[in-house]
Structure 1
């Protein structure tokens, strides 16, 4: 596996994790909308009509079209989430296999902290300890991928 390809896998994994989080938030929002519709039940609206448009009528009903669209969107998003989670698992397996294959223990730690645990460079430097700074660990990883 080439170094550039491996770097792309590590970056792709981090992006997939964010995409999974975003999709979960969208699913939660849709579930909340559906719950609200079910709890509120019928909606009531007043319309004018009749003789010369001066009579008021109260219309009551459940918003089935909106409810149905929201449910369909929810099922679609859940399907997308399953696909993303499967892709994420495949990508993390490839990333972890690459990291485990490295001879340099320090680089294994750096890559694991940054890409698998998704820490910031500041957090990576703190976890590495010693005289590590955010810039020094970032440059160390950059130099590794550049060679």
Structure 2
């Protein structure tokens, strides 16, 4: 398996985070676009007929089409997030199946910490412990990937 294939889980998670941010931006636009409100006078339907103010809120008619487009975009983004989340599960399982076929325990730990847990090389080295350094775990990973 190549480094690019091992990195797909990382990039899928990054893509999901970007889509989530875009989703929040769309939700914010929908909440704030074209909102208008007014008060009207009304009374109760039974005696005593007490006059009071009623607040009416809604969307300006000129903004209605844009709000509908934004809601359609939001639905598309939500579907994409679901799709990418499903791809993450598939990619995670594929990655774990591959890593579990490796005989070398150290390499399994390095690949899991780096490509499944997305840790930087210095944290991979500190999690493994011993005399392993950032450079030594990175080089072990590179050598393993070049060999296989």
TM-score, shorter chain, exceeding 0.5? yes
What residue ranges of structure 2 are gaps of 5+ in the alignment? 38-58
1:69 is matched with: 69
| Larger Rg computed on CA atoms | 2
Deviations 1:89-142 (A, max 9, x none): 111110011111211111111101000000111111111112222111110100
- Say if 1:125 and 1:132, in contact at 8 Å, map to a contact too: yes
2:53 is matched with: none
1:128 is matched with: 128
What secondary structure, in the 3-state scheme, does the structure 1 residue paired with 2:29 have?
helix
Aligned pairs (5 A) from 1:1-147: 3-4=1-2, 7-37=3-33, 41-42=35-36, 61-62=60-61, 63-147=63-147
Q: How many residues align?
A: 125
What secondary structure, in the 3-state scheme, does the structure 1 residue paired with 2:22 have?
helix
> 1:9, CA displacement in angstroms?
2.6
> 1:42, CA displacement in angstroms?
2.0
RMSD value, Cα: 1.8
> 1:79, CA displacement in angstroms?
0.9
What secondary structure, in the 3-state scheme, does the structure 2 residue paired with 1:42 have?
strand
TM-score (norm 1): 0.77
What residue ranges of structure 1 are gaps of 5+ in the alignment? 44-59
TM-score (norm 2): 0.77
In the aligned structure 2, how far is the partner of 1:11 from the partner of 1:41? Answer: 44
